[in-house]
Amino acid sequence: MTRYFLDTNCLIGLTFSTDVWNPDSRRLFDTDNTLYTSDNVVEEFCDADIKTQSEEREWDGDGGVFNRIRSRFRMGQLVFDQELQLIPDEELNSSRIADEFIQEFEIQDEAKRRIRRYFDRNLSDPDNVEAEEARQVANNLLNYILEHSEKELSRIQHRVKLGPSREGRHQEIGQRLQSVADNIHDEDVDVVLDAYHLLQRDILSKLVTADKRHVYGSRNLIQNIMGIRVLFLRDMFANSETAGDAGMS
């Protein structure tokens, strides 16, 4: 088994079935590999202060990316329902409903295909849809997304090991990276430094990210300066069978 350090986007990818990276994150979590992350990643992920928490404590923060996305789905549910009511009956079909859902909830890239397939499969007549059925099918999907995200949050907490806290160490090598990597942000450097801290403790040497532009884009510099090998989430299991739609069927 290999040990990997996970960037925040890997956790978000698992928790939300509508996320672009959901199939890739699921393949990673379904392996027997040992997965690590850090208190900084967890704070960005769900705003939980776990520096003094035991492994049994919940990641119960009420902020972070995780809770912002959940809020967007909850708050958008009423707006989406109102948008459906404005569509003329003769235009109410699976394609139009999926378009409205994708726009309202900012579904990106390959995840659009999964949304379209969900409505095609779950509407009794995709070409001629009653308004009430459209609302019900859409609400079922939204409820599933929210319930699934809670379940996957619990899975992450029990599946991912929390590495020892860096507590501000290694800032000098982080500054060295930033001096030559123009496209890497302060938050990205913190994540890389957390992985570097585990490398220094002989725990792991590989970081997995879905951030192709910044972290993965700086992979050669990161490896040359810190010795951390950065892997792109999608490339890791590119030859594996594509994961299903995580209940969106």
pLDDT tens, position by position, for the chain (249 residues)? 899 999 999 999 999 999 999 999 999 999 999 999 999 999 999 986 665 444 555 677 788 999 999 999 999 999 999 999 999 989 999 999 999 999 999 998 889 999 999 999 999 999 999 999 999 999 999 999 999 999 999 999 999 999 998 988 999 999 999 999 988 999 999 999 999 999 999 999 999 999 999 999 999 999 999 999 999 999 987 655 545 565 566
CATH code at position 219: 3.40.50.1010
pLDDT value at position 53? 46
Domain's final residue, options 149, 170, 185: 149
Domain co-membership, 87 together with 111? yes
Residues 76 and 142 in one domain: yes
> Do the domain assignments include residue 117?
yes
Q: Which domain holds residue 200?
A: 3-59+157-236
Paired tokens of 148: 């699934």
User: Could you tell me if residue 70 is inside a domain?
Assistant: yes
Report yes or no on 85 lying in a domain. Answer: yes
Number of domains in the chain: 2
Closest CA to 36 of 247, 202, 225: 202
User: Contact 208/226 with Cβ under 8 angstroms?
Assistant: no
131 burial type by CB count under 10 A (0-12 exposed, 13-18 middle, 19+ buried): middle
Q: What is the pLDDT of residues 61-95, one digit of tens each?
A: 788 999 999 999 999 999 999 999 999 989 999 99
Q: Which of 149, 174, 196 is the last residue of a domain?
A: 149
Closest by CA position to 111, among listed 25, 17, 8, 27: 17
* CA–CA dist 112, 119 (Å, integer): 11
Buried/exposed code over 63-74 (b: 16+ C-beta within 10 A; e: otherwise)? ebbbbebbeebe
pLDDT of res. 183 = 87
Closest CA to 160 of 51, 74, 55: 55
DSSP string, 109-132: TTHHHHHHHHHHHHSSSTTS--HH
pLDDT, mean over the chain: 91
Identify whether residues 229 and 201 lie together within a single domain: yes
55 with 70, same domain: the answer is: no
